[in-house]
Structure 1
Amino acid sequence: MAIRPIVRFPNPLLTRKAETITRFDAALEALAADLLDTMRDAPGVGITAPHIGILERVTVIEFDRESGARTFVNPEVIWCSDEKATHTEGSVSMPGILEEVERPRAVRVRYQTLGGETIDEEADGFMATCLQHEIDQLDGIFWTQRLSRLKRDRAIKKFEKLTREQARG
């Protein structure tokens, strides 16, 4: 469909909660297709509508083209394990910055398909991390908020430096 401009950190849109989707129509399907194209171009493994400036609860996750993209509409975590896992995270809105984040190792999520069907699904490992990361974004929690103050400050300074260097060419 189309590659959309990505909202960059520290844009306040990234800290606003996305609205629940109530219309399951061609416009939603087009949005999901645009999210996929934009994510692949970034590149990334996950993207939400707020990443492109649309405050709606939809996310697309794709580890690789072979396994294909998954679209989650109105996702929410309904259970998470006590056991934790650490994975490297980043954001299409903050390219070039990666940090280790600790989250629950497994989750159960409830979401809707593009057709409106409600599904409960368990995930663990990297998929659990990705779902939590993207659902956080839909809730207005940018991933750096899950870092210690020291790591967060360091990541922000590094991103500001990268942005300045890119602006100079």
Structure 2
Amino acid sequence: MGKAADIPDARRGGRGGDGRGTVRPIRRLGDPVLRTECDPVRTFDAALRRLVDDMFATMYQADGAGLAANQIGVAQQIFVYDCLDDRDRRHVGHVINPVLVVADGETLVESEGCLSLPGLRFDTPRFSHAVVEGVDVKGRPVRVEGTGYFARCLQHECGHLRGEVYIDTLSGEARREALRAIRSAPA
């Protein structure tokens, strides 16, 4: 997910935000890995923990609110997040093999960005409530529920793991405008 201007820099604490990871290059739209459906994680080991730490380090370096594994070239079903909900509660974590089990509530059209399309933001429709289920780095079940901006983040990251980018949710003139902006953006 794109820039997290609403979240203070103090957010860098917590699991994964502890400075252990290595920043990796973020793949940009046009890289085939962003359009490839990711594979489920089957091995829960030290390499997976390092990958999650690297994802947090990369997300924080880019000032993002979420990051999917394929955005750093790893086609596995993993995403990390650090963002606020509609009550200004901070949510920090990761989900492996996530399934978006609920996306409902009011449809909100708000400005959204993506670290793989730097500098571009488009009004994007998302549901105001989302629930994702999956597992953590130890294979333990997790259920994450979000509202507001956090719900938007959960939907955005799950989309990445299906090989989608947020502009895929746009239609009509909004989509045409986004595609024109992408074509004219500096490489």
The TM tier, using the shorter chain, reads 0.7 to 0.9
Letter in 2 for 1:72: V
Runs of 4+ in 1 over 4 A off after TM superposition: none
SS in 2 for 1:22: coil
Distance 2:62 2:183 in 1: 18
In 2, are the aligned partners of 1:87 and 1:129 still within 8 Å (CA)?
no
- 1:27-86 superposed Cα distances (whole Å, 9 cap, x missing partner): 11111111111111122111111001110011011128x946311111111122243222
In the alignment, what sits opposite 1:127? 150
Q: Which protein has the bigger helix share?
A: 1
Q: Please show how residues 39-54 of structure 1 align to structure 2 within 5 Å.
A: 39-54=59-74
Q: Secondary structure at the match of 1:5?
A: coil
Q: Provide the rounded CA distance (Å) in 2 between the counterparts of 1:68 and 1:30.
A: 21
2: distance between equivalents of 1:109 and 1:37?
22
In structure 2, how many angstroms separate the alpha carbons of the residues matched to 1:120 and 1:45?
A: 18
Aligned length: 163
- Identity over aligned residues, as a percent? 29
Is 1:10 aligned with 2:37?
Answer: no
The code of the aligned residue for 1:128 comes to A
CA offset digits 1:106-144 (Å, max 9, x no partner): 122111111111123322111111000000000111111
Q: d(CA) in 1 for partners of 2:25 and 2:105?
A: 37
Unaligned runs of 5+ in 2: 1-20
- CA RMSD after TM alignment: 1.9
One-letter amino acid matched to 1:159: I
**1:147 equivalent in structure 2:** 170
1:25 to 45, 50, 68: 45
The aligned residue for residue 133 of structure 2 is: 110
- Structure 1 spans left out of the alignment, 5+ residues: 165-169
CA distance in structure 2 between the aligned counterparts of 1:121 and 1:36, rounded to whole angstroms = 17
* Residue from 153, 160, 163 that aligns with 2:186: 163
Q: Structure 1 residue 62 and structure 2 residue 73: aligned?
A: no
Aligned residue in 2 for 1:37:
57
Is 2:97 the partner of 1:80?
Answer: no
For residues 52 and 46 of structure 1, the distance between their equivalents in structure 2, rounded to whole angstroms, comes to 12
Aligned partners of 2:112 and 2:126: how far apart in 1?
11
Offset, 1:153: 3.2
Q: For 2:99 and 2:50, locate their aligned partners in 1 and report how far apart those are by CA, in whole Å.
A: 22
